[in-house]
Amino acid sequence: MKILVTGTTGYIGKRLVPLLIEEGHNVVCAVRDKLRAEEWYKNEPLITVVEADFLQESTLSNIPKDID
């Protein structure tokens, strides 16, 4: 399953993403600052990091359309 996680760099997100990966899910991490999140997840093939700010509509096109 391909899952979108927002708040990836926050308290809950940092704990949720590894659990989803452990279960074999593909995870799309929506973050405001891509550089910050890429350090944590750069070697994980099941993770895609996209930069999106939900207060700026123009950035929402970065989120893949094929989220389950």
What pairs with residue 27 in β-bridges? 3, 47
Q: What confidence score (pLDDT) does residue 64 get?
A: 95
Across the chain, which has 68 residues, the per-10-residue mean pLDDT values are: 92 94 95 80 88 93 95
Number of CB atoms found within 10 A of residue 8's CB: 24
DSSP designation for 61: G
Q: What confidence score (pLDDT) does residue 36 get?
A: 77
**What's the longest Cα–Cα distance across the chain?**
32
What is the C-alpha to C-alpha distance for residues 66 and 7, in angstroms, rounded to an integer? 19
What would the two tokens of residue 45 be? 């093939």
- Structural contact between residues 50 and 22, judged by C-beta atoms closer than 8 angstroms: no
User: Model's pTM, two decimal places?
Assistant: 0.87
Q: What confidence score (pLDDT) does residue 39 get?
A: 73
